Structure formats: structure tokens, C-alpha cells
């Protein structure tokens, strides 16, 4: 039996086999390895992503503005844009209104603020203006609002409660000891009590307390004098004085007022009631009473001058 075998035609060529190639190395190069390691550092990322672009931008801006004419044109354009915005009609303030202030105080406020209307609200520093208004002696509180083209200032004035006699004249003082304004005269403020002496204004609250205690003395009370910036003297008519202690002045005065009401102590011919030492009060008789007493004494003893 003859074996049959397939013969390949002469034109048959086997398919070329791909040449064996080597696999690429997946490891990065030394440069990229070090770069990736640096990128894991927060400081390096911050320098690369923030500092470097910022410095580059600054160099570009500096190079652009190196030309003075170019810089002037940019600044003029920015100024014109700002002016066109801040001077829009809705931002302009046309007038000033002051409420709660007398005519004199209102005139002082307009003078110290010195605002030329119309003016843009962006050019008004409300906080600084309020501090300026509060710097005026008669002003206790102030509020500034801007709206509808009007700057509204609401003022609360200090109320004078005493007249303070100083070397420079009479001053009106409120309950907190602030000098409100110069007094026009004692007669113009006859309803207000009188205080005198250095530092009397700083102790106005204590003087008002003494005034309440001395209310039963009525019209005999002339005022209070601050002595040595330490204590008070109560000044009465007929040249009488009550010397109060440095501490507990109201309580000491209250005891004397009670004695005056019960025993008519202050109606006697006394010049000084000294309470500076509460445990040892002292009475000083008036000079004319002493002379009269000596005259009676000499007459009773038959002494002739």
C-alpha cells in the first residue's frame, strides 16, 4: 500500500515569526523618581504651586509698570472707574440733619465735622465722625446714620446738675462729673447747687448724695467745697461750715441734720461743726458770740476795762 503525503506547493512560504523582544523597564528614571519624591513634600508643593507663580506674576507686573507713562494711564483709568462708581446718585449725601441737640451744640457739631456737601458716602468715615462728635463736652451719646441722601446725627446731650466754681470761672457739670459748658452766671443757674474746690467735678456723684441728705436744710445750704481733694465741707449761710470726714461723709451729715431738726443745733451762734473725727465732734462758736459772752462775764464779775 503506497503511503500518501501532501506536498507543499512551491509557492508556499511559511509565515514569518516575530522576533523575540525585551520587555520595557517599568521603573521611572532617576529624575522622575526624585521629582515624585519631592512632590510628596508639602513645602515643595507649596513653593512650586504658589510661590513660583506668584514671583513670576510679580515680575511680569513689574516689567509692565516699568514704563511710567503706562503706569500713569493705568492709575488714571482706575481712579476714573472708582470716581464713576462712588459718585453715583444713590451713594451721594446731600445734607446733614442733627436731632436732639441745642442750637449751640448743633453749630459746634457742624463746625468740628466740616463736611462739604454733596459728598459720597464712601468718603465719610462714620466711626471717626462719631468719635469726633463724642469729643464735644456737652455730648453724652451720638449715633450717625446715612440714608436717602441725608446724614442723620442723633445726639443725647449731658444734663447739667451742678455749678462748679473754679479759678477760671463757673462751669456746668453733669452727674458723672463731665464739664458740659461754661456757666453764664450764678444767677442764670440759681436752681443748681454750687460746688467748689480742686477735684470737685470728679466727685460729683458724692456731692449729689450729700445734697439729698442736706435737703432738710433748705435755703440755708449754699453749696459744697472740696478740701484738699480728700473731703467735703458743707457751706451754709451766716458763714457756717460743717466739716465732713473723708470716709462716711453722708452718714456724718445725716446725724448733724437730724440734730439740727431736733435740737436746732445749726440755729445757734456757731461758725464750724467739725466732724472730721467722728468719735469726737467739735463745735466752734462764732467770734461775735465769744466777745458778747466775755462782755457778759466781765459785767457779772464787775470787771471794768
Q: 111 is written with which cell numbers?
A: 463746625
* Percent of residues, the chain, with pLDDT higher than 90: 35
Binned at pLDDT 50, 70 and 90, residue 260 comes out as confident
- pLDDT tens sequence across 61-97: 888 888 888 888 888 888 888 878 777 888 888 899 9
CATH superfamily to which 160-293 belongs? Cell division protein FtsQ/DivIB (3.40.50.11690)
* Three-state SS at 171: strand
Say whether pLDDT at 280 is over 60.
yes
Say whether pLDDT at 270 is over 50.
yes
CATH node for 89-157: 3.10.20.310
Percentages helix, strand, coil for the chain, rounded to the nearest 5? Answer: 45, 25, 35
Torsion sign over Cα 247, 249, 251, 256: positive
CA neighbor of 170 nearest in space, from 185, 159, 180, 187: 185
The radius of gyration computed from the CA coordinates of the chain, to the nearest angstrom, equals 47
CA-to-CA separations, 15 to 12, 18, in angstroms, rounded: 9, 9
Angle at CA 225, nearest 5°, toward 210 and 265? Answer: 60
Q: Where are the domains of the chain?
A: 89-157, 160-293
Say whether pLDDT at 121 is over 50.
yes
Q: 167 is written with which cell numbers?
A: 479759678
Rounded-to-integer distance, Cα 66 and Cα 112, Å = 43
CA neighbor of 75 nearest in space, from 87, 83, 124: 83
Which residues is 162 bridged to in the sheet? 173
Rounded-to-integer distance, Cα 141 and Cα 153, Å = 10
- Is pTM, for the whole model, over 0.85? no
Binned at pLDDT 50, 70 and 90, residue 7 comes out as low
Amino acid at each position: 500500500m503506497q503511503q500518501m503525503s501532501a506536498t507543499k506547493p512551491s509557492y508556499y512560504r511559511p509565515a514569518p515569526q516575530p522576533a523575540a523582544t525585551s520587555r520595557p523597564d517599568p521603573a521611572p528614571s532617576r529624575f522622575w523618581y526624585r521629582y515624585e519624591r519631592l512632590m510628596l513634600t508639602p513645602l515643595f508643593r507649596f513653593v512650586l504651586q504658589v510661590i513660583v507663580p506668584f514671583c513670576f506674576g510679580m515680575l511680569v507686573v513689574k516689567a509692565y509698570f516699568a514704563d511710567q507713562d503706562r503706569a500713569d494711564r493705568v492709575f488714571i483709568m482706575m481712579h476714573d472707574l472708582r470716581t464713576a462708581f462712588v459718585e453715583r446718585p444713590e451713594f451721594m449725601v446731600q445734607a446733614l440733619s442733627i436731632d436732639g441737640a441745642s442750637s449751640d451744640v448743633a453749630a459746634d457739631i457742624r463746625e468740628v465735622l466740616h463736611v462739604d456737601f454733596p459728598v459720597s458716602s464712601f468718603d465719610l468715615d462714620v466711626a471717626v465722625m462719631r468719635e469726633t462728635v463724642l469729643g464735644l463736652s456737652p455730648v453724652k451719646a451720638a449715633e450717625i446714620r446715612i440714608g436717602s441722601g441725608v446724614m442723620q446725627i442723633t445726639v443725647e446731650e449731658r444734663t447739667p446738675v451742678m455749678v462748679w466754681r473754679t479759678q477760671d470761672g463757673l462751669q456746668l457739670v453733669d452727674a458723672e462729673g463731665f464739664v458740659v459748658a461754661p456757666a453764664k452766671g450764678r444767677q442764670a443757674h440759681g436752681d443748681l447747687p454750687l460746688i467748689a474746690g480742686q477735684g470737685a467735678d470728679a466727685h460729683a456723684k458724692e456731692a449729689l448724695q450729700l445734697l439729698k441728705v442736706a435737703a432738710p436744710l433748705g435755703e440755708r445750704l449754699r453749696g459744697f467745697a472740696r478740701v484738699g481733694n480728700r473731703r467735703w465741707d458743707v457751706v451754709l449761710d451766716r458763714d457756717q461750715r460743717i466739716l465732713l470726714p473723708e470716709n462716711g461723709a453722708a452718714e456724718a451729715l445725716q446725724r448733724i441734720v437730724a440734730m439740727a431738726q431736733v435740737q436746732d443745733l445749726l440755729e445757734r451762734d456757731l461758725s464750724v461743726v467739725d466732724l472730721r473725727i467722728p468719735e469726737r465732734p467739735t463745735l466752734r462758736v462764732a467770734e461775735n458770740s465769744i466777745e458778747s459772752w466775755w462782755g457778759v462775764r466781765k459785767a457779772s464779775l464787775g470787771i471794768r476795762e
